[in-house]
Homo-oligomer: A and B are copies of this chain.
Amino acid sequence: MSEENTVFVGKKPAMAYVLAVVTQVNQGAPEIKLKARGKAISRAVDVAEIVRNKFVQDLAVSGIIISTEEVQGEEGSAPLKVSAIEISLKK
């Protein structure tokens, strides 16, 4: 699957990402992945739930993966570990 069908959820309001997912669905994407790290994980779950409950009722969660990623901190410091989530949505 290409990165095109992936929405990276960050610090914007959830509706910004909801709109991105709905747009991709309307453009015919067969599967969409929501990716988030750290505190944005809660928002990614919000986005998935809002899309499914309010906008695209026939979209289902086809898989959820959690993992740990390393993020480079300030120069010279050890890399930070941060939790990540990947939520796959499919018609």
Q: Which residues on A are within 8 Å of B, measured CB to CB?
A: 38-42, 45-46, 48-49, 53, 61, 64, 66-68, 83-85, 87
Given contacts A64-B66, A66-B64, A87-B66, contact A45 B41 (CB under 8 A): yes
B39 touches A67 (CB 8 A): no
Give Cα A39–Cα B14 distance, bound, in whole angstroms: 13
Within the oligomer, what is the number of copies of this chain? 2
**Partner pick for A66 among B45, B68, B83, CB 8 A cutoff:** B45
Contact of A42 among B49, B61, B64, B83 (CB under 8 A): B83
Q: How far is the CB of A40 from chain B (nearest CB, A)?
A: 8
**Interchain residue pairs with CB less than 8 A apart (24):** A38-B42, A39-B39, A39-B42, A40-B42, A41-B41, A41-B42, A41-B45, A42-B42, A42-B83, A45-B66, A45-B83, A45-B84, A45-B85, A46-B83, A48-B66, A49-B66, A49-B67, A49-B68, A49-B83, A53-B68, A61-B66, A64-B64, A64-B66, A66-B87
